[in-house]
Amino acid sequence: MVVRLEYYDVDVVELQPIPPNLIAIEGLPDIGLVGVISSFHLIEKMHMKPVAYFKSVVMPPIQSVKMGIIQEPMAVYSDGKLLIITSEVPIPASIVKNLSRTIADWLYEKRVSFVVSINGYPTQRRIEIQKPEVVGVSNSEKGVEILKEKGIKPLEEGFLAGIFAELLSLLKDRNIDAYAIIAESFPTYPDPGAAASALEALSKLLDMKIDIQELLEKADEIRLNLKDLSAKATQNKMETIPSMYR
Amino acid sequence: MTYHIEPLSEIYETSDGYIITIDLPFITDKNQIEMYVKENELEIIATMNKKVFWSSFEGFGKRIEVNKFRKKISLPIKIDPENVKATFKNGLLIIEIPKKREKKTKINIS
C-alpha cells in the first residue's frame, strides 16, 4: 500500500502503515554531516528498511540507484521502534521552511512519542579535539531536565539555524517533545568522530546501546565518500543563516 | 585505471597570513604528502595507503578507483617557501602561510 500525502510543496509517500509512538530521529545533511553519518550508522546496524520518502518539486532532480533500482534519496527508515529521517542529497536552502513544516505535520499525524535531531556545531579548534563535546537543546523545560538527568549538558546560550532549529519550534507548537543533540564538528568536512560523540549522547537519551566502534573504524571511508555532500551541505547551510549570525 | 581526486579544503585569512586545512582520509603519514610552491600557487599531492573506490554526483555515481589526492590553491600573495609551515595531524594537513610584513611609511598631511 502506498499513501501519498501532500503538504507544503513536499509530498510524503508512505510505503507501509506507520504505527504510533515511535521515536523519530532527524539526521538531514547539516554541518559535518553529523546527522547523516549517525543516521546511516543506525540504519545499517539496526537493519532498518525504508518506510516512507519525501518528494518535492523544489528538490534537485536526483535519484540514487542501487543494483539497478532507483532509491529515494530523502527517505524515512524504521525498525518498528525508531523512525529515522535522512537524505543522501543536500537540502536546498529554499526548501528548508516548507520541508520543516512538512516533517513537523507528518510527525504529528504519525503520533510519534518524541523527536531527536542530530547535528554538528562548527568549531575551528576541532583539529585539536580528540573527542568532540556534545550539548543538548530541548523545546520544553521538562526536556531540559531530562537532558540533565541523562548526563547531556544543555546548551546555555546561543543561536540555532537550519531544519533542526525550525523543527524544535514547530514541534513545540504541536505539543511534541523534541531534542537536538549537537556535537562539536569540523565546519566543512564530514566528521565521523563528531557523529560517534552524538551517538553516545543519543544512547544515553534513549537508554539503548549503540556500537560506535565500527563507525570509527570506517572513518576514512566515510570522510572520502561524503566529501561532496558535506561541501554542498555547508554551502546550503550558510544560505539559510542570516549574514549577521554567520 | 587509477584516478586522483580533489580533497576538501578550507582557507582562512587572518591578519598575519593564511591558514589552509586539507582533509586527507586514507593518508596516515606525512611522508605520503608532497607539497610544492610556485609564485602564489600551492600544490599538494597525497598518495593514499591503498586504492579505494569513490563515486561522485558529477560522475553519475560511477565508482572509480582512486589512490591520490591532488589540489592546487592560488593565494592573492606571493608565497615565500622558507616561511611556509605545514603540519599533519589526525588526517588533516594544516598549512600556515604568513603575509609579508611591509614597512609602513608615514605620509605627512599638509
pLDDT, position A62: 77
Beta carbons of A183 and A195 less than 8 angstroms apart: yes
More confident residue, B108 or A244: B108
The residue length of chain A stands at: 246
Looking from the CA of A178 toward its CB, the CA atoms found within 13 Å total 27
C-alpha closest to that of A199 among A137, A142, A152, A157:
A152
Checking if the pLDDT of A55 tops 60, the result is yes
CA separation for the pair B48, B55 (Å, rounded):
16
Tens of pLDDT, residue by residue over B2-29, are 788 899 999 988 888 899 999 999 999 9
| Contact residues for B60 (Cβ-Cβ < 8 A; gap 6+) | none
Note the pLDDT tens digit of each residue in A158-190: 888 889 999 999 999 999 999 999 999 998 999
CB pairs < 8 Å spanning A and B: 40
Q: Which pLDDT score is estimated for A244?
A: 58
Q: List pLDDT tens digits, range A111-142.
A: 999 999 999 998 888 888 989 999 999 999 99
Find the distance separating the first CA and the last CA of chain A, reported in whole Å: 45
| Chain A residue closest in CA terms to B58 | A228
Percent of chain A with pLDDT over 70: 94
HSE-up (13 A, CA, CB side) for residue A52 = 23
Which three three-digit cell numbers place residue A242?
A: 542570516
- Which of B9, B23, B24 to substitute to test the interface with A, most A CBs within 10 Å? B23
Chain B stretch 21-60, residues whose beta carbon is closer than 8 A to a beta carbon of chain A:
21, 23, 25-26, 52, 54-58
How far apart (Å, rounded) are the C-alpha atoms in residues B10 and A102?
34
Q: Give the dihedral of Cα atoms A85, A90, A92, A93; nearest 10 deg.
A: 80
Cβ atoms A27, A39 nearer than 8 A: yes
- Dump pLDDT digits (tens) for A20-42: 999 999 999 998 999 999 999 99
- Residue A197 has a CB neighbour count (10 Å cut-off) of 25
Mean pLDDT throughout A6-22? Answer: 89
- On whether the pTM is more than 0.80, the answer is yes
Q: Identify the CA nearest to B34 among candidates A30, A174, A83, B24.
A: B24
d(CA B13, CA A41): 36
Query: Residue B10 to residues A93, B13, B20, B95: CA-CA distances in angstroms?
Result: 21, 10, 6, 10
Give pLDDT, residue A64: 77
pLDDT at A159: 85
Interchain contact B94–A (C-beta under 8 A): yes
CA angle B78, B83, B88 (to 5 degrees): 110
d(CA A78, CA A42): 10
Tell whether the model's pLDDT for residue B58 goes beyond 70: no
The whole-number pLDDT of residue B105 equals: 86
Q: How confident is the model at residue A95 (pLDDT cuts 50, 70, 90)?
A: confident
Q: Quick check: B21 and A127 CB within 8 A? A: yes
Closest CA–CA distance from residue B36 to any residue of chain A (Å): 23
DSSP conformation class of A244: G
